[in-house]
Amino acid sequence: MEFKQLEAFVAVVEYNSFSEAARHLYLTQPTISAHIRSLETELNSRLIIRTTKKITVTTRGYQLYDCAIQMLNMRNHLVEEFTGTRKKIIDIGVSTIPSSYLLPELLCAFGKEAEDVFFHSWQSDSMGAIQKVLDGSVDLSLVGQEIDEESCCFIPFCQDSLVIATPVNDHFLARKNNEISLDNQTFLEEFLKEPFILRENGSGTRKEIDVFLEDHGISSSQLNVVARMNDLESIKKSIVNGLGISILSARSVTDLQKTRQILVFPLGESARKRTFSIVYSKNRILKPHVKQFIKFVQEFYKIH
């Protein structure tokens, strides 16, 4: 059960109209209907009876309405209590890399431009963040991959590259000092025989790894996989402690590279640049402050 669903339900009851509820919440009627259906399915109860002439709120519906009003008021009270004012809210989904390495600097910079906007963020892999857009749980998501989904709009805003991250030891220091090029297929294949830590499916990074390997005629089954993990920080710590190497986002390892806890080997010109995108639903009418944030994100990395 999401706050967005409860807001939609309360609006339909109060305006006695799906269209008016949609207009006031900056949503489309199909989105409002989908939120109501989701609530009815989750609660296993008919909440609103809709005919061509009118809508009728059921007894169960009025029970939920009373509870929903209390929950939404409590949410608003908490926001006001902790921020000192009533703020505009943006619900945002973020995949792993944007969550840790892009969103903090974006929110810090945007906060100086729009002090009255408050964010609720949910972190998952790219597919999970896109799914939140599809089910209407968030206003937008920042993700590391695109999918073929007609109802979604993807706007590229930032690029990254993949690198091989290794422990700092004599073996890899010698390779670093020799300045080997991973554009060389032989060197690349030798590198990938090392103990390898692989991201689980679902992440944008894993998808880019699979594309890179495929482009070089290498199957993931050929890798000497010693561990599969879905947590980026666990992978980084495992590399630092010498478990193995991995292919990671360059942005995600900048901190460890600067402190000499890992070594980084660029994949060279043969590796595609990875693109991070803003994704939102075409079926959603974006609120003005959401549009403001999207425009801000598009411009931010052009000058940073």
Report the distance separating Cα 199 and Cα 236, nearest Å: 11
Length of the chain, please?
Answer: 304
Res 85: pLDDT: 59
Q: Which amino acid is at 298?
A: Q
Q: What predicted TM-score, i.e. pTM, was given to this entire model?
A: 0.64
* 23 backbone dihedrals φ, ψ, rounded to 5°: -65, -45
Res 226: pLDDT: 95
Q: What is the CA radius of gyration of the chain?
A: 23
Question: Which residue numbers in the chain have pLDDT < 70?
Answer: 80-81, 83-87, 179-184, 269-272, 303-304
DSSP 8-state secondary structure symbol assigned to residue 251: G
For the beta carbon of residue 283, count every other beta carbon within 10 angstroms.
Answer: 15
Res 44: pLDDT: 92
Res 240: pLDDT: 96
Res 142: pLDDT: 96
Hey, is 180 helix, strand or coil? Answer: coil
Compute the C-alpha angle 185/191/195, nearest 5°. 145
Residue ranges and CATH numbers for the domains of the chain are 1-83 (1.10.10.10), 87-158+276-304 (3.40.190.10), 162-272 (3.40.190.10)
Res 196: pLDDT: 94
Res 181: pLDDT: 60
